Amino acid sequence: MSSKPNILIIDDDDTMLDSCSQVFAKEGYKSATAEDGNQGLQTFREIQPDLVLVDLKMPGKDGIQVLQELKTIDPNCVAVVITGYGTIQSAVEAMKHGAYDFLPKPFTPDELRFIVRRGLERRRYIIETESLRRDKEMMRKNFVSLVSHELRSPLAAVQQNLIVILGGLSGDLPEETKKILQRMSHRIKGLISLINDWLNLSRIESGEMTVHMKPVRLPEILTEVVDLVQPLADENKVVIDWHPPVDFPTILGNRETLQMLFTNLIHNAIKYNKTNGKVFITLENTEHHAKVTVKDTGIGIPQEKLPLIFEQFYRAKEGKRVEGSGLGLSIAKKIVEAHQGTIDAESEVGKGTVFTVWLP
């Protein structure tokens, strides 16, 4: 907001325009006037005032219409409606359409000053809040960059050196030393995984990873994910049942995040399964959605815990102990929501869990 507030007065009464302008001049405010709604909207675009006074009853475009268009031009504009004593209900209706306050006619200079000062305080608050929001977003981006470059990169370098040492390329190691280095490598691997999940979550929340939507083929994505997690399934003695449908229509989506979504779901279905268990993956074309289900025969989730599983860092305490950041399902949910879809889970302890994803 400039040192001298700028106020726009939109009213078809010349006397009202002149008297308000004189009051504002004495207060040290800058002011501009417009005699009808169309002229007022044009002037608003040109000068971008801090506050607008709008008469409700004007020929042509009335105050309600002007308010609605002002909000499309600048959602943060502060508007005060001017109304006659007999149209208080109209003023209340105007506030529902975005007016900050209303001033009944006739009013005194003191009443005008009071309501304008209050409106300018509101404007100052909006500007400060928006500035804080931008600062917060900049700090978040800077922190993501710090984590990405200053933490992940050196950890990856340490991990690579440990792989070289444990591989015997630097000579034989005592067995106890090897065990210590293996534990170190395992911990660093978990920390890198946590950092990667956190970075992905931040990028998804900012919209960075989902702005580029284009037609994608879900059967291809699911097949790629199944191939990716097959070694983990073999290691855990879990069978994956997946039969890609033929001629499945494309959907609008972001390929990278959809791969991340289904990798999380299928990875969990394997990790939380039983030895010789199964994971069933199906893809159906419903009337308005692509429906993907990932069903396992694993340990299941207690009913009272189901509402919590999509929360960040939530980890079930019961059942099988597995490694993970606790961010996977939170990331999955945000990816689905970014695609205007829905995800839910059904489960029975000891019998398994079913995740269902609907994507438009």
Inform me whether the pLDDT recorded for 355 exceeds 70.
yes
Whether the CB-CB separation of 77 and 122 falls below 8 Å is answered with: no
| Summary mean pLDDT of the chain | 84
Q: What is the pLDDT of residues 158-185, one digit of tens each?
A: 888 888 888 887 788 888 888 888 888 8
What pLDDT, on the 0 to 100 scale, is given for residue 278? 95
- Per residue in 29-38, is it b (16+ CB within 10 Å) or e — as a string? bbbbbbbbbe
Q: What is the CATH number of domain 214-359?
A: 3.30.565.10
d(C-alpha 122, C-alpha 50), whole Å: 10
Query: For residues 215 and 114, what is the distance between their CA atoms, to the nearest angstrom?
Result: 56
The CATH code that applies to domain 6-107 is 3.40.50.2300
Q: Report the 10 Å Cβ neighbour count for 115.
A: 19
Per residue in 295-329, pLDDT tens?
Answer: 999 988 888 888 887 775 555 545 455 555 567 78
Average pLDDT, integer, range 208-226: 85
Strand, coil or helix: what is 192? helix
pLDDT at position 28 over 70: yes
Q: What are phi and psi of 221, to 5 degrees?
A: -65, -45
| Calpha distance 310→225 (Å, rounded) | 21
